[in-house]
């Protein structure tokens, strides 16, 4: 009897760990918290031809830049209480509007974005360099950032704490299924 129970437990363990991360349910734009997501490995960077070959994170028609010039994987330095500058460059000639979303892999909480002319437009008031508590980053900005895929955007991702984050891209007004996804380590 114990062999049967052990066998069943082993099969269940294998089934749980073999989940394909592409089959996860992504939190809706208004969700305050989704399920924890099995994000997988940190995404490798690629040389961005529009930035003299500097490493960037390719996400559909977008390039994200927040990494050192010798970085090989999507690892972002975390400074507690401060927004994280992540530059976004679109591909020239791309005629689509896209939506950028993200979530913390361990909690499922949505990642918030601030791609506006000023931090104050995202609910972050005060002088540049001011420190904020994590709860502020979890309600400031927007959980769905709409972008013209052919433009460039200076702005911020509002990581409330270190950890793994999944970032994904969908077509604006289209299916909520991601057209591109990446895993970023915030450390």
- pLDDT tens digit sequence for 60-108: 999 999 998 999 999 999 999 999 999 999 988 888 899 999 999 999 9
- 23: pLDDT strictly greater than 70: no
Inside any domain, residue 65: yes
DSSP letter at 17 equals: H
Q: What is the CATH number of the domain that holds 37?
A: 2.60.40
Inside any domain, residue 153: yes
- pLDDT tens digit sequence for 108-146: 999 999 999 888 999 998 666 789 999 999 999 999 999
Inside any domain, residue 4: no
- 35: pLDDT strictly greater than 70: no
For residues 169 and 74, what is the distance between their CA atoms, to the nearest angstrom? 16
Shortest CA distance to 158 belongs to which of 118, 113, 93, 122?
113
pLDDT computed for residue 128 by the predictor: 65
Cβ neighbours of 69 (radius 10 Å): 9
Inside any domain, residue 33: yes
Percent of the chain with pLDDT over 90: 65
- 22: pLDDT strictly greater than 50: no
Question: Which domain does 164 fall in, by range?
Answer: 27-186
Which tokens go with 50?
């529009």
pLDDT computed for residue 33 by the predictor: 56
Shortest CA distance to 173 belongs to which of 88, 99, 94?
99
Residue 44, phi then psi, degrees to nearest 5: -80, 145
Which tokens go with 145?
């950032």
pLDDT computed for residue 37 by the predictor: 62
- 32: pLDDT strictly greater than 50: no
Structural domains in the chain (count): 1
Inside any domain, residue 14: no
For the chain, first and last CA: distance in Å?
47
Mean pLDDT of 21-39: 50
Inside any domain, residue 93: yes
Inside any domain, residue 115: yes
- Between 29 and 68, whose confidence is greater? 68
For residues 158 and 114, what is the distance between their CA atoms, to the nearest angstrom? 7
Inside any domain, residue 12: no
């Amino acid at each position: 009897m114990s062999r049967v129970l052990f066998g069943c437990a082993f099969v269940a363990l294998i089934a749980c760990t073999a989940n394909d991360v592409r089959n996860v349910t992504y939190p809706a734009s208004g969700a305050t918290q989704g399920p924890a997501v099995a994000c997988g490995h940190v995404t490798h960077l690629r040389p961005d031809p529009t930035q003299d070959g500097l490493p960037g994170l390719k996400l559909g028609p977008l390039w994200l830049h927040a990494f050192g010039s010798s970085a090989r994987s999507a690892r972002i330095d975390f400074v507690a209480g401060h927004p994280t500058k992540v530059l976004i460059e679109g591909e020239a000639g791309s005629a689509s509007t896209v939506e950028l979303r993200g979530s913390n892999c361990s909690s499922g909480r949505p990642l918030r974005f601030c791609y506006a002319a000023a931090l104050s437009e995202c609910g972050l008031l005060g002088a540049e360099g001011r420190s904020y508590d994590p709860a502020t980053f979890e309600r400031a900005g927007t959980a769905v950032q709409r972008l013209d895929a052919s433009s460039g955007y200076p702005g911020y991702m509002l990581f409330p704490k270190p950890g793994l984050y999944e970032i994904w891209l969908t077509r604006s007004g289209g299916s909520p299924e991601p057209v591109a996804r990446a895993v970023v380590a915030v450390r």
